[in-house]
A and B are shown apart, each in its own frame.
Chain A
Amino acid sequence: MRPGGLGFDVDPARSTLMLERLEGFERDTRAAITLLWNTPSAMACFEDTGVLAQDTTRELGLVGPAARASGLARDVRLDHPAGIWRFSHIPLASAGAGDVFARAQVRWTEIQRSIEFIRDQLRSLAGGPVRAAAADGAARLVDGFTPDMLAVSLVESWRGEVCHTLLTDGAGRIARCKVVDPSFHNWSGLALALRGQQISDFPFCNKSFNLSYCGHDL
């Protein structure tokens, strides 16, 4: 991935291989998650653990599956549909309880829908170029960038909204780039979900948010 598009295209052999691997991945994931749902000791740890109320979630500005598990209808693919999302709509996966179980359930629904989406897309990939032409051959000037431009993009990643903000200089080259990761918004959600919880439930709460250190402003 690079400014202006992708470095490589997917050829038919590769998409066949990806479809095969996706099938194996789906089988393994389904089996593991089914075991999880059918294990009462695990479910006892999930239910009513690390509850985050909908109001708190909204006030903190949480994004992604963590927000949707507390009942917020927030998904960049639906709120700001661009590109493929204008044509392919993935139903919003949400839950209301805001506990570890709700976050796991939203994640599982999204895994299944993502597999379906990837499968559909791989079977009907459009042709055409994958990269905008570099205007000066050095890949630092991208077609479509104008001098002194501010560009903002929102993408729904697997943890939630990723925001890229880009500034170009007087010559149309990238001058500044700032990325805000979903983890930046959601760390405070984890902190609040942990209040009043047992220490032994920390791993469940932590992994139900599954945040990235790199996603914070290091």
Chain B
Amino acid sequence: MLKILLERLRQGHRTIDWPQGPPPELSDRFRGRPRLDRTRCPAECRACVVACPTEAIDLAGLGRIDLGRCIFCPDCAEACPVGAITHEADYRLAVRQRGELELTGTEELQLAAALDRRLKRLFGRSLKLRQVSAGGCNACETDINVLGTIGWDLGRFGIQLVASPRHADGLLITGPVTQIMALALRKTWDAVPAPKLVIAVGACAISGGVFAGRPEQQDGVHDLPVDLYIPGCPPHPLTILDGLLRLLGRLESA
């Protein structure tokens, strides 16, 4: 017992200060939102469109990048001959509407607004989520798992991943929704008591990601009402936590 206490003392407090304090320092290789400066594009150049593995770039008009499809790889920026695509360092990426992820270079991201008063009163201090991996690759799932570690301590916000949909207030969905998982996802949704939320985590759950268009899957969550979209491949744990806290109206001052 004494040895356990001594080891606890030695290891000390390891949970990040954020959101009260500054967020943890991200790697210099962290890639947030890719921004396209269409005015710098050479005439007829389509290098980024060709390079993009998920067809997230549309050069028509002002040019749009769909963050719901984007896997945040550096291929577009590397392919661009004039450096017109740059990745920003901001980890905040979650939005409430699918359309808000399709952005021209001059548009700013509409960061997720809080739930309405009634839902915020219900879920604001206690949100239980059932995680469903609908054909995910374990990357999004692992980064969700990270939030449960001592470094992040999701429980301090009253948010918890639970072992049954009947204990849950909503679904946290990852993966492109494979045909094999579609019925299981629907049944899980049906088993959650109303009112309930749906949160789509990662490019796959939002758009099918790298699997988009394949017959084995459904291009993400479509037949459930999604309340929060958290883009990334996978999203950084900080991006996921930021999205969850914004949805609950707990970051309004930030």
Contacts and interface: CB of A to CB of B under 8 A. Distances in A.
B133 A214 contact: yes
Interface of B: 3-4, 7, 10-11, 29, 47, 50-51, 53, 73-75, 79, 133-138, 141, 175, 178, 180-181
A61 to B, nearest CB: 21
A138 B138 contact: no
Interface of A: 2, 7-8, 28, 31-32, 35, 38, 137-140, 212-215, 217-218
Contacts of B53: 139-140
**Chain A binding surface SS class:** loop
A7 B77 CA distance: 13
Given A31-B7, A139-B53, A218-B181, A212 B138 contact: yes
Given A137-B79, A139-B53, A218-B180, A35 B138 contact: no
B141 A35 contact: no
B10 A31 contact: yes
A7 B138 contact: no
Given A8-B29, A214-B138, 9 more contacts: A7-B73, A32-B7, A138-B51, A212-B141, A213-B141, A214-B137, A214-B175, A218-B178, A218-B180
Nearest to B74: A7
A72 B135 CA distance: 31
Given A31-B10, A138-B51, A218 B73 contact: no
27 contacts: A7-B73, A28-B11, A31-B7, A31-B11, A32-B7, A35-B4, A35-B7, A137-B47, A137-B50, A137-B51, A138-B50, A138-B51, A139-B51, A140-B53, A212-B138, A212-B141, A213-B133, A214-B136, A214-B137, A214-B138, A214-B141, A215-B138, A218-B133, A218-B134, A218-B178, A218-B180, A218-B181
A214 B178 CA distance: 12
Contacts of A213: 133, 141
A62 B240 CA distance: 35
Contacts of A214: 133, 136-138, 141, 175
B3 A38 contact: yes
Q: Which 8 A-B pairs have the closest CB atoms?
A: A214-B138, A218-B135, A31-B7, A138-B50, A218-B181, A213-B133, A214-B136, A214-B133
A90 B74 CA distance: 35
A8 B133 CA distance: 28
Contacts of B178: 218
A102 to B, nearest CB: 24
B31 to A, nearest CB: 10
Contacts of A215: 138
Given A35-B4, A218-B175, A139 B75 contact: yes
